[in-house]
Amino acid sequence: MDVTRATAVLDANWLGTSTVPSRALYPHQWSWDSAFIAIGLRHRSPARARRELVTLFSAQWPDGRVPHIVFDPATPPEAYFPGPGFWRAGRTSGIVQAPVHARAVLAVHEAEPDRAFLAELYPKLVAWHEYLRGKRDFGGHGLAAIVHPWESGMDNSPAWDGPLSRVPPAAGFVRRDLEHGHAADRPSDEDYGRYVRLAADYRDSDYTDGGAFVVEDPGFNALLADAELALAEIAERLGLPSDAHREAAARVAKALQETLWHNGFFFARDVRTGSLTPQYTCAGLLPLVLPDLAVAPALLATATGPRFGLGRVHGVPSYDLTAPDFDPGRYWRGPSWFNIGWLVRQGLLHHGEHALAERLRTDLLETAAATDFAEYCDPLTGTGHGTRSFSWTAAVTLDLAQ
Ligand code: 9WN
């Protein structure tokens, strides 16, 4: 029943060669959304899941970056801001999102083996990871830096408040998101002004220089290390050498540990000041996806403690439940997101926490169905927030229902 409804959500959001996260709020293809969508879709239509990823990588830039948005030419430009006219980068945006794609490609192949698909995507994934580990190593010690909060996928995370405070907000633009979402569930106007300023500055540097916001995010880098491990498996399935990928994964994981681990948690680092941002956010839990994480017991203690309440709340809160500015309904400043729940569950399975993983799985399935596949939910009550019929919430349902 829930599987039927989740499938219907993905069918309704399918554009013909890719899936929109949401018809009204996000009417184009988004990078990390497509990876989660493919992970769910593979159970209903492996062919469509392959197409989703092939379409995304058809928009890869010559320097290897995979853009965070691929614009749908049939959608009016005013439907989403900032649109193609703002980015001036052809049919894409110019920033990136977290590299969950190798994991998705491998998962899709496992659902229905297809050597041609793997062979087509492998060199593209290699170029993508090389871009991140090379050109994005602004800090110079082996971590990929993000240059915009949108790149983290956790736009208004409290961890960005410090670095963002250096960015003067832009004015003179119209927020399209507020036509489809409640203002209380979305980032503030001031934050939006800063996002627009940063994106314009990056665009004006021809998408090369980091500006005022250059941050090493533990979530982004944990997913990069995991992606290299997935790429090693893809190489092995193709009969190619895989050592370089495993070594790359180990280097990123080591840098993560040495640079971002502090007092039992992973924090983001502001490259411009050299300091760790002090907020406990769900990005700091994502290193749990790495099977060889020596600090997993300490991190699990934080995950199950009062700050995240894992097992006693709905999903995985995006922000510290004990922080004075925790907000259960506002975007990445408190609510639980279903893709993060899916990733943390993978981590729990890696580290032998089977009972907790099962509790999380059941809760994610129930909450997704009860909220009509909401974009995010209140961790304390399970009430849905944001848009409904959200693609990755439906996709995560399809995968967890297996
Ligand atoms: C900006 C599409 C995307 C997700 C992000 C989420 C939100 C966009 C926005 O929607 O960001 O990229 O307009 O707010 O934060 O994680 O990929 O679903």
**Average pLDDT of span 382-386:** 98
3 state SS of 217 = coil
Residues 210-243: b if buried by 16+ CB within 10 A, e if exposed? bbbbbbbbbbbbbbbbbbbbbbbbbbebeeeebe
Tell me the per-residue pLDDT of 36-79, one tens digit each, with 9 for 90 and over. Answer: 999 999 999 999 999 999 999 999 999 999 999 999 999 998 89
Tell me the per-residue pLDDT of 73-119, one tens digit each, with 9 for 90 and over. Answer: 999 988 999 999 999 999 999 999 999 999 999 999 999 999 999 99
What's the complex ipTM?
0.99
Tell me the per-residue pLDDT of 137-191, one tens digit each, with 9 for 90 and over. Answer: 999 999 999 999 999 999 999 999 999 999 999 999 999 999 998 999 999 999 9
Distance 352 CA to ligand 1 centre (A): 32
**Which amino acid residue places its CA nearest to atom 12 of ligand 1?**
150
Both tokens of residue 339? Answer: 């893709």
- pLDDT given at position 209: 85
Q: How confident is the model at residue 310 (pLDDT cuts 50, 70, 90)?
A: very high
Ligand 1: which atom is nearest the Cα of residue 339?
Answer: 16
Q: Is 155 a catalytic residue?
A: yes
**Which amino acid residue places its CA nearest to atom 5 of ligand 1?**
153
Ligand 1: which atom is nearest the Cα of residue 22?
Answer: 18
Catalytic residue among 363, 375, 378, 399: 375
Distance 150 CA to ligand 1 centre (A): 7
**Which amino acid residue places its CA nearest to atom 7 of ligand 1?**
153
- pLDDT given at position 77: 86
Contact 150 CB / ligand 1 (< 6 Å): yes
**Average pLDDT of span 284-306:** 98
Distance 138 CA to ligand 1 centre (A): 24
Contact 177 CB / ligand 1 (< 6 Å): yes
Distance 61 CA to ligand 1 centre (A): 20
**Beta bridge partners of residue 216, listed in sequence order:** 145, 269
**Which amino acid residue places its CA nearest to atom 14 of ligand 1?**
155
Distance 32 CA to ligand 1 centre (A): 9
3 state SS of 305 = coil
Q: What is the DSSP string of 136-182?
A: T-TTSSS-PEESSHHHHT-TT-GGGHHHHTTSPPP-S---SGGGTS-
Q: Quick one: CA dihedral 53, 245, 269, 345, positive or negative?
A: positive
Ligand 1: which atom is nearest the Cα of residue 332?
Answer: 15
Query: Percent of the chain beyond pLDDT 90?
Result: 99
Contact 87 CB / ligand 1 (< 6 Å): no
Burial class (CB in 10 A: 0-12, 13-18, 19+), 401: middle
Tell me the per-residue pLDDT of 196-242, one tens digit each, with 9 for 90 and over. Answer: 999 999 999 999 988 999 999 999 999 999 999 999 999 999 999 99
Q: For the chain, give the mean pLDDT.
A: 97
3 state SS of 385 = strand
- pLDDT given at position 326: 98
Contact 23 CB / ligand 1 (< 6 Å): no
Catalytic residue among 151, 155, 363, 399: 155
Distance 153 CA to ligand 1 centre (A): 6
User: How many other C-beta atoms lie within 10 A of the C-beta of residue 258?
Assistant: 11
Q: Is the confidence at residue 10, as pLDDT, over 80?
A: yes
User: What is the distance in angstroms between the CA of the first residue and the CA of the last residue of the chain?
Assistant: 13
Q: Specify the pTM.
A: 0.98
Task: Name the amino acid, one letter, at 98.
Answer: A
Contact 82 CB / ligand 1 (< 6 Å): no
CATH class of 2-400: mainly alpha
Which run of H or of E encompasses 337? strand 336-337
Distance 38 CA to ligand 1 centre (A): 17
Closest by CA position to 200, among listed 214, 211, 215: 211
- pLDDT given at position 259: 98
Contact 32 CB / ligand 1 (< 6 Å): yes
Specify whether the CB–CB gap between 366 and 360 falls below 8 A. Answer: no
Please report how many Cα atoms fall inside a 13 Å half-sphere around the Cα of residue 142, on the Cβ side: 16
Burial class (CB in 10 A: 0-12, 13-18, 19+), 168: exposed
Ligand 1: which atom is nearest the Cα of residue 68?
Answer: 12
Contact 21 CB / ligand 1 (< 6 Å): yes
- pLDDT given at position 1: 65
Q: Is 258 a catalytic residue?
A: no
From residue 108, alpha-carbon distances to 39, 53, 101, 117 in Å are 6, 10, 10, 10
Distance 200 CA to ligand 1 centre (A): 18
Which residue has 């909450």 as its token pair? 367
3 state SS of 281 = strand
Secondary structure percentages of the chain, helix, strand, coil, to 5: 50, 5, 45
Contact 122 CB / ligand 1 (< 6 Å): no
